[in-house]
Amino acid sequence: MQKVELLLPAGNLEKLEYAIRYGADAVYLGVVDFSLRAMRKGELITLENLKHAVELAHSLGAKAYLTLNIFAFNNDIKLLESCIDRFKDAAPDAVILSDFGIFNLVRKYMPQTQVHVSTQTNTLNYESVKFWRDLGASRVILARELPIKDIAEIRKEVPDIELECFVHGAQCVSFSGRCLLSDYFSKGERKANHGNCSQPCRWSYKLVESTRPDEYYEINQDERGSHILSPKDLCLVEYLPQLIEAGVDSLKIEGRTKSLYYVSAVAKAYRGAIDEILAGKTDDLHKYFTELQKVGNRGYTLGFALGDNNGDSYSYDISKGLAGADFLCEFKGFKTDEDYYLVKIKNKMLLNDEIEIITPHEQFKSKVVSIKNELGEEVELANTNDDIYIKFSQSPIDYKYAIARTIGVKQHVS
């Protein structure tokens, strides 16, 4: 099989580094005004540090793709023209876009930069791929609605362009993400295709009859109402051999607003699966599906991959992603004289808790054998958001980028 790229989201600088450390070959990132995700936490990627972000990815041996994939109005075009020199100076490996006006500006001001056509363009057939290729694009990010057999046909008909597809993460109820529900319900304040979607597809709905405005009826029998528009999350880890065989060049993970734990754990699982597949080992990929149950999800679906997407692809009872394992802490430092690690607590940890530690190159079970506060006093509880010292029964060879979580998979994840 040919080499294939693992492409991870970089919601901020810290997630960028963790994504690459845990196995990404490339990351995609964006600044708020021109990206379909509006980031709010961490060391955000801005015009001021965009060049540093790209250089950081390059220093770690990965590529960095800049997302300029909004649907642009005149004001957006004017803003883009005013700062495109900053994008050019940052020198990303490619620009991801969906708007013809932005395409023109990138061709004009950044002629040496590769263009990747966003999934927002709803590219579903080989003639569309030929169109983008002839226009100068080097890669097309295919619509999520394509079954694998259609991807293989596109590759056969258009062998001279890179193909990218989503393999994991949240899905939009609308066709390739072109949704106006958020714009409508927020009266234009939360524009979905300008990076600020309020995700009304995840809301709980009830039925009302127009002549009885105060009478609400359950759409199905559930005290929480019904999430009739909320798709399950995509997970194609067990179908990577078929995707690679079909000719996909880049396997994309969704999730620039997801947690550091999500980015790290998902990258590690897909990196492991891809490496085994390329080594000819394809008989035990289900273990990676189990690993992916440990991160936040709304239940998993194959989406359109097999051509039979149906009602089972929707999450009727939950709208928020629930993780099968709790993210407990990230490692921040080490006291060599006492074998205690300084950790940032994400969910409370107790003395004698059994946990699982993962790093870019390790994964093992351990136990909390001692907890000390900043005064050096032994305590039995480490609370959420604490910076505290913990000694483990087994420690990572290299603690940098290590994280800890609970063991196993909780039952609420399907």
DSSP assignments along 119-166, one per residue: GGG---SHHHHHHHHHHT-SEEE--TT--HHHHHHHHHH-TTSEEEEE
Average pLDDT over residues 126-142: 98
The packing angle between helices 148-157 and 126-135, to 10°, is 50
Average pLDDT over residues 352-362: 98
What is the pLDDT, as a whole number, of residue 338? 85
Contact 67, 96 (CB under 8 A): yes
Do 362 and 244 lie in a common domain? no
Beta bridge mates, 169: 234
Q: What is the CA 59 to chain-centroid distance, rounded?
A: 22
Please check whether residue 90 lies inside any domain of the structure. yes
Do 22 and 62 lie in a common domain? yes
Do 298 and 332 lie in a common domain? no
d(CA 379, CA 371): 6
pTM summary value: 0.88
Q: Which of 232, 251, 254, 255 is nearest to 241 (CA)?
A: 251
Q: Which domain holds residue 381?
A: 327-405
Do 142 and 246 lie in a common domain? yes
Phi, psi of 129 (to 5 degrees): -65, -40
Q: Tokens 């603690």 map to which residue?
A: 399
Q: Which of 290, 313, 336 is the last residue of a domain?
A: 313
d(CA 235, CA 216): 35
Q: Which of 49-53, 68-72, 216-220 has the lowest mean pLDDT?
A: 216-220
Please check whether residue 192 lies inside any domain of the structure. no
How many helices (H) and strands (E) the chain has is answered by 10, 21
Do 91 and 40 lie in a common domain? yes
The model's confidence at residue 311, banded by pLDDT at 50, 70 and 90, is low
The packing angle between helices 100-109 and 74-90, to 10°, is 40
- 269 three-class SS: helix
Average pLDDT over residues 10-23: 96
Task: Return the CATH number at 335.
Answer: 2.40.30.10
How many domains does the structure of the chain reveal?
Answer: 2
Please check whether residue 243 lies inside any domain of the structure. yes
Q: Give the model confidence (pLDDT) of 154-177 as tens digits.
A: 999 999 999 999 999 988 766 556
Do 84 and 159 lie in a common domain? yes
Do 272 and 308 lie in a common domain? yes
